Structure 1
Amino acid sequence: MKKIILAAAAVAFATPAMAAPGDTAQDSGTAVAEIVAPIAITHDGGALDFGIIIPATTAGTVVVTQGGAGSVTGDTLFVSGSTNAADSFTVTGDAGRAYSIVTTGGSVTSGGNSMTFTTDAPASGTLSATGSDNFSVGGTLNVGANQAAGSYSGSYDATVSYN
């Protein structure tokens, strides 16, 4: 019995052993980044040209397609020999990347007179293998009844962004 008491006392007063280190593991992750060429847009010159118009006693419209073809509605007429033209832009950036296009409308003015217009452009495009693309903008001009004579001009915005 003496041995049991001595063994119990030795256990009670023993210095606790240091805990053995637990299992640890380590692995590495990866980080990536891709740098693309900035997207840019350049107006090619020219203008969205609604042509030379004769207004009527009722309102009408002039429509120019993205291909540059013009037509009128209502009693609005083109002056004989009048030409129409779509506007055009060049987009540059990262080769093969898709992008979206947004254009705004606005108004054209002459003196204190104005006419509103909307634009018509493709919703998107894809840059070529060389990193460029072109698109055209058409539109619809609202011609008022008995619209005042004058040379009307205005502007609109075209914005492109990567998809």
Structure 2
Amino acid sequence: MKALTDEKIKLVFENIGANVKQLIDRPDGTYCFREQKNRVYYVSEKVLQLAASVGRDRLVSMGTCFGKFTKTGKFRLHITALNYIAPYAQATSAEQQFLYGHHVLKSGLGRITEGTPRYQGVVVYSMNDTPLGFGVAAKSTAECKHTDPLTMVCFHQADVGEYIRSEHELT
């Protein structure tokens, strides 16, 4: 596994959000991001040191896969990162249509964090605050307040059901 370049670090940190520092400097140790075959892994430095004794050709993965770089150079988060990002994320709420892979309409929006800008990455929660997945805000908070109920307010990116539907593609 190799360290990320400055450009790739910037892309990953933009997708994760402002609280990425809390993911790296944790009370239980220091964590880092590493890349292998265009996939980004979140791993503790202790595990990273242990994995150094394994040959590069024999190492399949280590840590948690946070996402991958697309062929166009963009970074997409995987649902496997949800448990790590959700505690630090700003919450929006929507449910059933999101779990089936659909975008969220304003009529399905329960609440949204104040000050959310357009095209900001968001974590989608159920009404009982269970994290469901990731999305991208199609409208800002101000635009959501004055829009039609059938307008899209969140573009679907990944959800917890996707992990089961496409498990063979995640490794």
Asked if Structure 1 and Structure 2 have the same fold, meaning a TM-score greater than 0.5 normalized by the shorter chain, the answer is no
Structure ranking higher on relative contact order (CA contacts 8 Å, 6+ apart): 1
Q: What is the TM-score with the length of structure 2 in the denominator?
A: 0.21
Q: What is the TM-score with the length of structure 1 in the denominator?
A: 0.22
Larger radius of gyration: 1
- Give the structure with the larger helix fraction: 2
